[in-house]
Amino acid sequence: MDFRFTDDQLSIQSIARDFAQKRIVPVAAEHDAKGEFPLENIQEMGQLGLMGIEVPEEYGGAGMDPVAYVLAMVEIAAADAATSTIMSVNNSLFCNGILKNGTEEQKQKYVRAIASGEAIGAYALTEPQSGSDASNMHTRAVKNAEGDWVINGKKSWITSGPVARYIVLFAVTTPGMGARGVSAFIIDTKRPGFMAGKTEPKLGIRASATCEIEFHDYVCPADDMLGAEGKGFGIAMGVLDAGRIGIASQAIGIARAAYEATLVWSRDRKAFGHPIGTFQMTQSKIADMKCKLDSALLLTLRAAWTKAQVEKTGGRFGTEASMAKLVASEAAMWITHQAVQIHGGMGYSKEMPLERYFRDAKITEIYEGTSEIQRLVIARAETGLR
């Protein structure tokens, strides 16, 4: 196996790292404390190509591969998980879904706007009564006499919902058919009938705006259906496979930031006349942190590499994506936990970013498929049983 990165991959990693350290790190704590959406940084990231890394250049993106996306996501997440959440949704869930399933007109109109940073995208699958059971949705789309779709319903936990211009939405078009009755649509939030609810007060990733959204007789033009009628659930699940690589990358960035802070602390902090990094119990924690971090990174790079191969030759990469997301998210939670513990009281203080890393890490075990769902996906793939 060749573990060397290409010049293009290293270039986007360097661009992301430089921007993250110079523009994101200085304001991350303030944005977190205020729950303030980092709009200016997101727009600049679009100009740098970070909002459409895998988007072809003809649609306003950087035209790079999934491995480049992982490398860039890790750098942004290491600076601020909330900013990386916005980046992940724009890249993995919005742009990816339309690139794989949209018409040429949809790609030019919607993907270009998001990839360039001109607008913010969102993805609306979850509903108040349906989290992991995504097929149990109540939002309805009914065709009117003109052939357009009239949408009514509510979606919850929509990342970037309060600020998004365009949203990929999933709604039932044929009731009683379960997953086979779901279709996908592209929503323009400037049209009548769309309403964003209050921003959710969250434990972590507080600078990423999250809310409920509602549709009251919203008319979606027939041309804005994404893919074929009744194929929405398959689109949603395919998009989530790509999204899980993004969340795994986010988790690695959070974990890396906590690990690097711990290395510095273990060298500088003294107890009983010695650096705490000389104590065997601290060394044991550091060794385990390093192993979990590198294991997560390798699994995530494998998933990204597999995705790139699948896009050339066909096939699936869902199992690899689920493994990466599961291992990386649980590693992030464990590593940040141990980092806080090693830092003692200072790890619990808002004077240091560790408590933010700890809060941010938890969501990676929940969204885009909980750890329980990832285990289900992996086990079903291995056994062939459902």
- The yes-or-no answer on residue 368 being catalytic is yes
Residue 87 CA to residue 75 CA, distance in Å, equals 12
Task: Collect all residues with Cβ–Cβ distance below 8 Å to 378 and sequence separation of at least 6.
Answer: 319, 322, 323, 326
List b or e across 155-192, with b for residues whose CB sees 16 or more CB atoms inside 10 angstroms.
bbbbbbbbbbbbbbbbbbbeeeeebebbbbbbbbbeee
Active-site choice (200, 368, 372, 382): 368
Which residues are the active-site residues?
368
